[in-house]
Amino acid sequence: MDYKISELEDWQRLDRFLRKFFKKYPIIKLWEIYTFIRKWIIKVDWNKKKWDYRLTKNNIVTIPDEIIDKINKTKEWKINNLKIEIIKKMIIFEDKNYIFFNKPAWIAMHEWNKHMEDLTMNQFLEKYVKETWIKTSWTFKPAFCFRLDKDTSWIVIAWKNYKSLKHLNELIRNHIPKKYYLAITKWITKNKHIILPLEKIFDKNFWKSKMIVSDNWQNAETIIKRIKTVDIPKLWKISLVEIQLLTWKMHQIRVHLSHNKRPIIWDLMYWDPVINRLAKKNYKITRQLLHSYKYYFNFEWIEYKITAEIPEDFLKIISYFKFLY
């Protein structure tokens, strides 16, 4: 990257210019700036200059591409350069109470140790609110009502006022909203109504929580409706199913299907290793094929019936497998 010194920057010391230039990129440390100067990594007019060199108008400060690439990978840079049009494309519906997003796969809901430098749905929401809302409260900030797995695509809801948050939380506690999913699974011969108790445990292999079927816990209830089953070369039989949750437990769909020996394709925690290996090798499938596409509930005489478009990767697989849906 070549930066031309303007008249406003004339006679500024090189180290001070670079400190100001990198100030908004905390990934570049102070000691690194002086190392860049000392080792001739950053040049002025393609020549080596000392830290106290006085820049003049039209000087060219050359910053290597590898430093710019390092900056471009930081969360601060990603957020600053995030286009509002990209966020708006995710929004299915918005009114005075809620914002409904169609969350793509591979975007985490919030920051945690494995995603500290990744953009999350929280950043998308914050950017959207910052650029489209007039601030009316110092204590209120819209947020998402619930979380979900990074590699699952589905509808996520952000509340826009405390009244709508309280109402939806109460509905969720009582399992009132209707949630429908699409999934591609190991072949299913008929519709199923699964009732099994689930318990949360910590799995040292994955280093995170998972669910197991256990008589020591509460029942979870799932309705599985088979849409179509096809026999796929080099993969065996698989099914497209619609799933309705009657209770809302962590990983409920995945555990219920796996316990019935019909796991979701490419589910890495509750998996069938043989069919997953074949799916990746022969069909380039690299995420669990689960998508939440319908969400129904009422609030203040408003009936919310939200349907999310099926994501492109899911559609390609459905089309490729010749599912009639």
What does the pLDDT read at residue 117?
64
Arithmetic mean of pLDDT, 181-187: 92
- Domain 74-174, CATH: 3.30.2350.10
Choose among 79, 129, 135, 82: nearest CA to 101: 129
What does the pLDDT read at residue 73?
65
pLDDT, tens digit, for every residue of 204-221? Answer: 877 788 899 988 788 999
Look at the block and give the residue holding tokens 């993969």: 235
pLDDT above 90: residue 1: no
Of the candidate ranges 2-11, 50-59, 135-144, the one whose mean pLDDT is the lowest:
135-144
Percentages of the chain per state (helix, strand, coil), in multiples of 5: 30, 30, 40
Strand partners, 232: 236
pLDDT, tens digit, for every residue of 13-44? Answer: 999 999 988 887 777 888 888 999 998 899 99
What does the pLDDT read at residue 113?
53
pLDDT, tens digit, for every residue of 72-119? Answer: 666 666 777 788 999 999 999 999 899 999 998 888 887 665 555 678
Choose among 102, 43, 227: nearest CA to 14: 43
Find the farthest-apart pair of alpha carbons in the chain and give their distance in angstroms, rounded: 78
Arithmetic mean of pLDDT, 231-259: 90
Kind of pairing, strands 236-245 and 178-186? antiparallel
Decide whether 74-174 matches 177-325 in CATH topology: yes
Mean pLDDT of the chain: 86
pTM: 0.71
How confident is residue 325, by pLDDT bands cut at 50, 70 and 90? very low
What does the pLDDT read at residue 315?
83
Assigned CATH topology for domain 2-70: 3.10.290
Element (H, E) at 21: helix 14-21
- Domain 177-325, CATH: 3.30.2350.10
Domain residue ranges in the chain: 2-70, 74-174, 177-325
What does the pLDDT read at residue 75?
64
Please give the residue that has the higher pLDDT: either 271 or 137.
Answer: 271
